[in-house]
């Protein structure tokens, strides 16, 4: 019993390790081998928060991810209903799984041309659309399990009792689907928040989201700034998750 | 009831959104790889296809990607099963139940960066080893990053997906009512070992099988992690494709597009294969 | 199904349209400089460059960007990209008949310049329109010629550097000076030497190739397949002999020079190298390299080359890009850039053409501490080879060394 407690404590500590380590590095300055911890601590990286660039990067990422999540959550909600109740549901499912399973960056190289054609590369809108295209099938997949026979009959009952479409949605569908909607929103938000390859390619490197910024710092071998950007990337979803852990759980397209 | 029109518009939109990008992308890639379009392409030729199809790089990249994903998946499943079965009660609530969700907030990029700082020859582990006197020089520290066996990539992938499977299994425990099956088996006199191998594991794995297949395919296509932790050879497929398209020799671009088509077709055939093996396969995929 | 087919056809139609006529580009070169400056006002210029060095990034971000904003009201945005990634982007843009490129200015040289000229992706000739170009030392073959190609007004020299090897003098007393000594050294200290898999490593390989060829003149001029085959075969023999003693047994090479610097800083490597002879000073000042780090040029010599600024043919703000380039080759910007504490990049200005005061300021730049004296290494400077040599070396290095 004791052993289990100890093991579990170690396990929990190891979950916190990456964040603790990145936080420590983000305050570091010189870290020559074989020092275990950085030799000097500095607020230089966090001083970036004063710098308007980093703030705008943060809000740009937030804006992009929020828009993508919103569009996907809404459109997938209504569209998935008609897919779920279709006789060809399974065939539709297979279609949805194809873009869902493909590597986003490979998708990006093959459709980059069309984005250039309609002058969308290097624009925030272009990045939002591209991310929407890879996240939409995922949104549909999340909702498909939610639309079932039971729900269908409740919805029909509401109509039979004289409720119009709007009332049915507000009074019946929404309360029942709140969790699925939140789940979809948060999951899509994360996909967008974490996306690098596709964002960098379609954004022509001009749309500097936080994840793109992490890569830039890693490229210039600036581990302290990279750690700092990593923290900025990880902490917001952690806070959200702390508020409600149901948000995060689903067969998500992680990495 | 929704009007038939709305229904059709929705279905049309759905099909358009999920197929147009892939299909139009494939058309572009096909035309490019055959030399029909492309500024530097002068003639129609199947040379790029021959090089890719009969050459080693594409297949070795696919093979290496498969190896990475299967090994990562096996390790993750083993760890996740162990933890979710052993600590089943603790996972439901308390600190452990909350903590286990946190790793899901880590994207591949960040986890890869973390692994690099931990495991490289001048990384944290090596520094610890040096200060403890386990190694005399950082050069004798084993190569875990940019190594031939993809250890760094596997380590990172395992970190990324194991927590997910722990949560998945512990949820299945509840929804599939495994405890009552276990109890039932016990009353029939099954040993703990038998319960584990004949009851618990089969139920969990069967219920999670779709997710397992899907994640195996995801890991195969991962890009950020092998980009940061992989080496020039062997390469994972996404990295190999991007490199062909963006590396020194412009005449290699058609090959890059040919590779991307083959990769898409490969994924496509796997999905269709899974579908035909069991038409209800995807129905239960969401957990 | 019908709908899918029609969508598909739509896509094909879009594709076909993209191939058609090219739009007329406005001819900025006919305007006077005043008109160009006027046109440049308030524009946003996107410059794509290699952003793998924090000092360089900081020079751009903290000196050039505010300078052009303040003096010219131009917003300069920096994005990351190099080599073929740039070429691929511009090529796809041209193919899609994009009206205005996402990218206006480029930091390029050598094989990227060659490839961009090949696809006709560069605007020009424009450099003679720019007032500050009259101070530039075009006569110098290391500046006026880029990888054996005349720059012909299509790119503006920005900096000039010579490759140097960097070592820690506290750990290595007599750094190898010749190919034979290098082999001997690497054998005696296995695992401590390597070169990167990118531009810097390839530039090192070129120096070895020239050494193998016997004299500096042998590989001058256009690409010669026969000579390449002959000498590169010997080069690969030499590298294969080194390979088992290289870092990680030559099974893997650092992906970038930044990564190689990190390995050197941590002591994993005894050597690193830089395309910039003065970089050792700035990296030491930064605290990355130990104070005992030193740079030198071996007897077989190293490549000296220049790097340039180009403007894309599809740029919508060519005038503004030219004005920015003018600032970047101005006396003040070049002086700042050459300070070892800033970047340490050699100037492309001709000292003879500057005023005495300006010349003095260049001469009074805090002297190099660990970097070799520029005049002393000039004798060992090798000209860049034709771009095809680099493209072939890169390909064959993968085939002959990495994949074997």
Domains in chain B (CATH in brackets) are 56-277 (1.10.3720.10)
Q: pLDDT at residue B41 above 60?
A: yes
Six-digit token pair at A91? 């065939």
Q: For A39, which residue in chain C has the nearest alpha carbon? A: C287
Which residues of chain B neighbour C395 with C-beta distances below 8 Å? 248-249
CA-nearest of A221, A197, A212 to C79 is: A212
Q: Is the pLDDT of residue B284 over 80?
A: no
Torsion angles phi and psi, residue B159, rounded to 5? -60, -35
Do the beta carbons of residue B91 and residue B97 sit within 8 Å? yes
Q: Does A33 touch chain C (CB under 8 A)?
A: yes
The answer to ipTM > 0.90 is no
Contact C340, C284 (CB under 8 A): no
pTM for the whole thing? 0.88
A117 touches chain C (CB under 8 A): yes
Q: Chain A residues with CB inside 8 Å of C287's CB?
A: 29-30
Please check the confidence at residue A240 and state whether its pLDDT lies above 80. Answer: yes
Neighbours, chain A (3 or more CB pairs < 8 A): B, C
Residue B24: which of A94, A114, A142 has the nearest Cβ? A114
Find, in chain A, the residue whose alpha carbon is nearest to that of B241: A106
What pLDDT was estimated at residue C218?
94
Q: Which of B58-62, B134-138, C191-195 has the lowest mean pLDDT?
A: B134-138
Residue C3 has pLDDT above 50, yes or no: no
Dig out the tokens for C248 from the structure. 């990680």
Long-range contacts of C81-84 (CB under 8 A, 24+ apart): C81/A205, C81/C48, C81/C49, C81/C50, C82/C49, C82/C50, C82/C107, C82/C112, C82/C199, C83/B246, C83/B247, C83/B248, C83/C111, C83/C112, C83/C199, C84/B246, C84/B247, C84/B248, C84/B249, C84/B250, C84/C112, C84/C115
pLDDT in the model for residue A162:
79
Cβ <8 Å between C287 and A221: no
Q: Do A34 and B264 touch (CB under 8 A)?
A: no
Average pLDDT, chain C: 90
Sign of CA dihedral C383, C389, C394, C398: negative
pLDDT in tens, C193-206: 999 988 999 999 99
- Contacting A residues, span 192-211, partner chain C, CB-CB under 8 Å: 204-206, 208
E strand segments, C65-133: 75-80, 105-108
CA distances from A226 to A215, A231, B244 (A): 8, 9, 27
What pLDDT score was predicted for residue C15?
Answer: 46
- Asked whether residue C25 carries a pLDDT value surpassing 60, the answer given is no
Query: Is residue B10 within 8 angstroms of chain C, CB to CB?
Result: no
In this prediction, residue B179 carries a pLDDT of 84
* pLDDT above 70 (res C208): yes
Residue A52: band (very low, low, confident or very high) from pLDDT cuts 50, 70, 90 = low
| Most confident residue range from A25-39, B247-261, C205-219 | C205-219
Q: Residue C228: which pLDDT band, with cuts at 50, 70 and 90?
A: very high
Helical packing angle, B253-277 and B56-86, nearest 10°? 40
Residue A39: predicted pLDDT: 83
Q: What is the mean pLDDT of residues C359-373?
A: 87
CB contact under 8 A, A220 and C99: no
Residues pairing with C157 in the sheet: C308
Rounded to an integer, what distance in angstroms lies between the CA atom of residue A171 and that of residue A162?
A: 12
In chain B, residues with a C-beta closer than 8 Å to the C-beta of C251 are 148, 231
Q: What's the Cα-to-Cα distance from A76 to each of A86, A205, B215, rounded to whole Å? A: 15, 29, 22
Q: Is C20 helix (H, G, I), strand (E, B) or coil?
A: coil
Q: Helix, strand, or coil here: A72? A: helix
| More confident call, A106 vs C4 | A106
Confidence of residue B251 (pLDDT cuts 50, 70, 90): confident
* Residue of B19, B107, B280 lying closest to A194 (CB–CB): B107
For position A242, what pLDDT does the model report? 79
pLDDT band at B199 (very low <50, low <70, confident <90, very high): confident
* C184 has pLDDT over 90: yes
CA of A188 vs chain C CAs: smallest distance (Å): 26
Which of the pair, A254 or A170, is modelled with greater confidence?
Answer: A170
End-to-end CA distance of chain A: 36
Three-state DSSP state, B138: helix
CA C330 to chain CA centroid, nearest Å: 20
Q: Which phi and psi (to 5°) does residue C78 adopt?
A: -105, 130
Interface probe, candidates A220, A225, A228, A229, chain C, greatest C C-beta count within 10 A: A220
The DSSP secondary structure of B206-271, one letter per residue, reads: HHHHHHHHHHHHHHHT--HHHHHH--SSS--HHHHHHHHHHSS-GGGHHHHHHHHHHHHHHHHHHH
More confident residue, A158 or C166: C166
Backbone angles phi, psi at C149, to 5 degrees: -105, 135
- Is C266 touching B (CB cutoff 8 A)? yes
Q: Do A15 and B102 touch (CB under 8 A)?
A: yes
CA-based nearest distance A221→chain C, Å: 6
More confident residue, C205 or A254: C205
Rounded to a whole number of angstroms, the distance from the CA of B157 to the nearest CA of chain A is: 8
> Rounded to whole angstroms, what are the CA distances from C252 to A21, C39, C194, C370, C403?
28, 50, 9, 29, 10
Name the least confident of A175-179, B102-106, C158-162, C179-183. Answer: A175-179
Terminal Cα-to-Cα distance of chain B (whole angstroms): 28
Answer whether C278's CB lies under 8 Å from C368's CB. Answer: yes
Are the beta carbons of B232 and C253 separated by less than 8 Å?
yes
Neighbours of C305 (CB within 10 A): 25
Predicted pLDDT of residue B3: 64
Give me the pLDDT at residue C272, please. 96
DSSP string, A145-173: TT--HHHHHHHHHHHHTT--HHHIIIIII
Do C331 and C353 contact (CB within 8 A), yes or no?
Answer: no
pLDDT mean across residues, chain A? 86
Q: Which band of pLDDT confidence, cut at 50, 70 and 90, is reported for residue A247?
A: low
pLDDT, average across residues C25-42: 81
DSSP C373: P
pLDDT > 60? residue B94: yes
Determine the Cα–Cα distance for residues C75 and C84; give it in Å rounded to an integer. 26
Would you place residue A133 in the very low, low, confident or very high pLDDT band (cuts 50, 70, 90)? very high
What pLDDT is stored for residue B210 in this prediction? 85
Q: Is C329 helix (H, G, I), strand (E, B) or coil?
A: coil
Cβ-based contacts under 8 A for chains A and C? 67
Question: How sure is the predictor about A178, in pLDDT bands with cuts at 50, 70 and 90?
Answer: confident
d(Cα B224, Cα A197) in Å, to the nearest integer? Answer: 7
Mean pLDDT value across residues B82-86: 91
- The tokens for B115 are 């692994």
The predicted structure's pLDDT at residue B248: 66
Picking from C6, A115, A195, A191, the residue whose alpha carbon sits closest to that of residue B25 is A115
Given an 8 Å threshold on Cβ–Cβ distance, is A101 in contact with B271? yes
Q: Is the pLDDT of residue A248 over 60?
A: no
The percent of residues in chain A predicted with pLDDT above 90, rounded, is 40
Q: What is the pLDDT of residue A150?
A: 77
Q: Which residue of C has its CA nearest to B24?
A: C11
Tokens linked to C294:
């030193």
Among the partner residues C15, C191, C395, nearest to B28 by beta-carbon distance: C15
Q: What is the pLDDT of residue C21?
A: 38
pLDDT of B228 reads: 92
What is the arithmetic mean of pLDDT over B101-126? 92
Q: What is the mean pLDDT of residues B46-61?
A: 93
Nearest CB neighbour to B223, from listed A4, A11, A105: A105
Q: What is the pLDDT of residues C97-136, one digit of tens each?
A: 888 999 999 999 988 999 999 899 999 899 999 999 999 9
Q: Which of C387, C314, C391 is nearest to C92 (CA)?
A: C314
- Rg of chain B on CA atoms, in Å: 23
C positions 326-385 inside 8 Å of B (CB): none
The band of B155, judged by pLDDT with boundaries at 50, 70 and 90, is very high
């Amino acid at each position: 019993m004791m052993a289990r407690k100890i093991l579990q404590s170690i396990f929990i500590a190891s979950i916190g390790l990456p964040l603790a380590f990145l936080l420590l590095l983000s305050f570091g300055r010189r870290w020559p081998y074989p020092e275990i911890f950085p030799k000097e601590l500095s607020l230089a990286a966090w001083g970036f928060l004063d710098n308007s660039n980093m703030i705008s990067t943060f809000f740009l990422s937030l804006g992009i991810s929020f828009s993508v999540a919103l569009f996907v959550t809404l459109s997938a909600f209504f569209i998935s209903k008609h897919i779920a109740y279709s006789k060809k549901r399974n065939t539709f499912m297979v279609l949805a799984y194809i873009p869902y399973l493909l590597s986003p960056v490979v998708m990006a190289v093959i459709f980059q041309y069309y984005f250039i054609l309609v002058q969308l590369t290097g624009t925030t809108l272009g990045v939002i659309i591209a991310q929407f295209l890879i996240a939409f099938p995922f949104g549909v997949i999340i909702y498909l399990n939610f639309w079932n026979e039971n729900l269908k009959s409740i919805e029909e009952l509401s109509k039979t009792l004289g409720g119009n479409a709007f009332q049915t949605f507000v009074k019946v569908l929404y309360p029942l689907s709140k969790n699925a909607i939140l789940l979809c929103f948060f999951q899509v938000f994360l996909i967008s928040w974490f996306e690098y390859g596709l964002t960098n390619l379609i954004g022509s490197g001009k749309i500097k989201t936080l994840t793109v910024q992490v890569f830039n710092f890693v490229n210039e071998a600036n581990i302290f700034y990279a750690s700092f950007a990593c923290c900025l990337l990880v902490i917001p979803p952690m806070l959200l998750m702390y508020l409600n852990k149901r948000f995060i759980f689903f067969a998500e397209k992680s990495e | 009831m929704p009007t038939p029109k709305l229904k059709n518009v929705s279905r049309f939109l759905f099909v358009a959104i999920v197929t147009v990008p892939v299909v139009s992308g494939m058309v572009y890639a096909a035309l490019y790889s055959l030399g029909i379009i492309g500024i530097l392409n002068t003639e129609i030729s199947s040379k790029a296809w021959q090089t890719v199809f009969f050459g080693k790089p594409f297949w070795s990249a696919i093979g290496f990607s498969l190896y990475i994903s299967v090994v990562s998946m096996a390790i993750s499943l083993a760890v996740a099963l162990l933890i979710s079965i052993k600590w089943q009660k603790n996972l439901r609530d308390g600190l452990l139940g909350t903590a286990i969700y946190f790793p899901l907030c880590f994207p591949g990029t960040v986890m890869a960066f973390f692994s690099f700082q931990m495991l490289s020859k001048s990384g944290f582990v090596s520094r610890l080893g040096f200060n403890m006197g386990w190694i005399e020089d950082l050069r004798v520290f084993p190569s875990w990053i940019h190594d031939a066996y993809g250890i760094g990539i596997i380590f990172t992938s395992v970190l990324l997906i194991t927590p997910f499977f722990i949560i998945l299994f512990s949820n299945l425990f509840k929804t599939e009512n495994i405890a009552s099956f276990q109890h039932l088996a016990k009353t029939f006199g099954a040993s703990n070992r038998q319960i584990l191998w004949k009851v618990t594991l089969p139920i969990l794995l069967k219920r999670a099988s779709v997710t397992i297949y899907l994640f195996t395919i995801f890991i195969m296509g991962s890009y950020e992690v092998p980009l940061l932790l992989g080496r020039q050879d062997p390469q994972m497929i996404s990295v190999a494709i991007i490199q062909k398209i963006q590396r020194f020799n412009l005449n290699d671009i058609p090959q890059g597009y040919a590779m991307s088509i083959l990769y898409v077709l490969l994924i496509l055939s796997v999905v269709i294969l899974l579908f035909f093996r069991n038409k209800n396969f995807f129905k239960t995929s969401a957990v | 199904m019908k709908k899918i087919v029609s969508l598909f056809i739509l896509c094909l139609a879009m594709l076909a349209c993209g191939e058609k006529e090219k739009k007329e580009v406005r001819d900025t070169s006919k305007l006077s400089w005043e008109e160009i400056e006027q046109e440049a006002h308030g524009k946003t210029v996107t410059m794509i460059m290699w952003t793998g060095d924090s000092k360089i990034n900081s020079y751009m971000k903290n000196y050039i960007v505010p300078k052009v904003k303040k003096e010219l009201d131009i917003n300069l945005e920096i994005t990351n990209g190099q080599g073929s990634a740039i070429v691929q982007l511009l090529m796809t843009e041209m193919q899609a008949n994009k009206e205005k490129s996402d990218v206006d200015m480029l930091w390029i040289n050598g094989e990227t310049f060659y490839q961009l000229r090949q696809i006709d992706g560069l605007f020009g000739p424009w450099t003679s329109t720019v007032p500050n170009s009259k101070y530039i030392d075009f006569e110098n073959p290391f500046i006026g010629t880029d990888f054996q190609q005349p720059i012909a007004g299509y790119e503006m020299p920005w900096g000039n550097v010579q490759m140097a090897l960097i070592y820690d003098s506290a750990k290595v007393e007599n750094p190898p000076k010749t190919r034979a000594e290098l082999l001997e050294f690497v054998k005696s200290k296995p695992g401590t030497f390597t070169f990167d898999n990118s531009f810097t490593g390839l530039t090192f390989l070129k120096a070895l190739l020239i050494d193998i060829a016997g004299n500096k003149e042998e590989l001058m001029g256009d690409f010669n397949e026969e000579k390449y085959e002959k000498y590169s075969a010997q080069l690969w023999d030499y590298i294969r002999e080194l390979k088992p003693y290289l870092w990680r047994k030559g099974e893997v090479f650092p992906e970038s020079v930044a990564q190689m610097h990190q390995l050197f800083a941590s002591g994993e490597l005894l050597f690193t190298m830089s395309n910039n002879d003065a970089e050792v000073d700035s990296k030491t000042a930064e605290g990355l390299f130990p104070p005992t780090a030193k740079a030198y040029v071996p007897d077989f010599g190293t490549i000296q080359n220049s790097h340039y600024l180009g403007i894309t043919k599809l740029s919508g703000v060519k005038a503004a890009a030219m004005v920015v380039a003018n600032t970047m080759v101005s006396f003040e910007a070049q002086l700042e850039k050459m300070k070892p504490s800033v970047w340490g990049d050699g100037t492309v200005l001709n000292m003879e053409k500057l005023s005495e005061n300006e010349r003095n300021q260049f001469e009074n730049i805090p002297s190099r501490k660990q970097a070799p004296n520029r005049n002393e290494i000039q004798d060992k400077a090798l000209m860049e080879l034709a771009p095809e040599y680099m493209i072939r070396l890169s390909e064959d290095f993968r085939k002959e060394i990495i994949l074997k």
